[in-house]
Structure 1
């Protein structure tokens, strides 16, 4: 059975996200740890967390994916912004210990003219500063579409970051279907080849989660505009091959399509039908 969910609003608390997930047929979900465009995070309510953990156990949930705010840039040219990113990442990871054993995903950042090598080094240094041996959360680097000066536009760039991180067992990768297609990887016609390349460069054991999105733009566009499943340039047939691929089926898959809860329910049902069809 697919482990599939969507991005849910954390504004009403952890237990409500769990109830919303169950209501749309999901058995995982993704959420922002704090305001996606800001820095404030809700205080942790331990009773609320306990209620979510109970819902997850009763409904056989897979691992959850927490998402860092978009404003973080661990490789900014501005040292104050780099420090803000480190402090936010550090705080988020300590908050994640209330939900042990799950995933924390973040966009590696943009080097803003410093060059990819400098960006890669800054990101790795940030991770080496904030990760600790006893943490129970795995940190995921997200595959990026390559717009502007984004770091992580290729499997090779992600591998270079990973190679520089000291606590290797705390790291993984989240593959975003819109991003990799926009980044030039042909998941439409050659999914097996893309996964073979990922395995050769990074290793399939590093792939911990997926973002399942169609794309408003054609492959190789480097744009990063998500579309509803079957309404974009990737298409339902190619997305179905991703979610049903034997090397991927056990991983948590999170929809980030432009939808409300009813729309996510339809997409989850659609993809479960592909699995069973």
Structure 2
């Protein structure tokens, strides 16, 4: 089962179908059949333990799956999420999602549970510097460009894109995905130019308020001379040059203590 971002699903589907040809595999889009409630936050494990008795949530490691039941509904439980918090993503039959939602909200009253939306998820992901496909990375950039090269295992045989990635590894990069802390209280626009003493240094990929830090944050692809932590840069925000400083990422909880719960 492959979970994609909703924006890119229709782009990825024909690519997967194309590469499945001639293999002992086939691709089926089951998006409409699956609902995807996500429980994130420091009390998410406690909440789900109160609701799901037949799953070992204490022993469930990050990036791992288990299953359990809420009433008669079978729930696939994944210890994943893009908020930087302890959290779980649930996969349930779409026609049983409403009753599951009601059960979550009912049980969640004792845990301070509140619904949250995509923008809240994005700003939390920005604080953790989680690169988002279609925003921070696309078909023109590789995992090397966004600091995800630790996930590439060249010693595990052939895979789509292997030769291209080897060329990038051997040649090296001329740009890097970095974090910026902005002056003022206004985020920068996506694709806003980043300048260094008037020279084009790169572009912003995403900017928003980092509410956990009380600062305006951004991520950007910058050319290597301008990526060092502490480098002072400038971004036009609403027609006004705004100071930005290259900062270490992740911005928040770099040790990942909150993810461990």
Q: Which band: TM-score by shorter chain? A: under 0.3
TM-score, normalized by length of structure 2? 0.27
Which protein has the larger Cα radius of gyration, Structure 1 or Structure 2? 2
TM-score, normalized by length of structure 1? 0.26
Higher helix share: 1
If asked which structure has higher relative contact order (CA below 8 Å, sep 6+), I would say 1
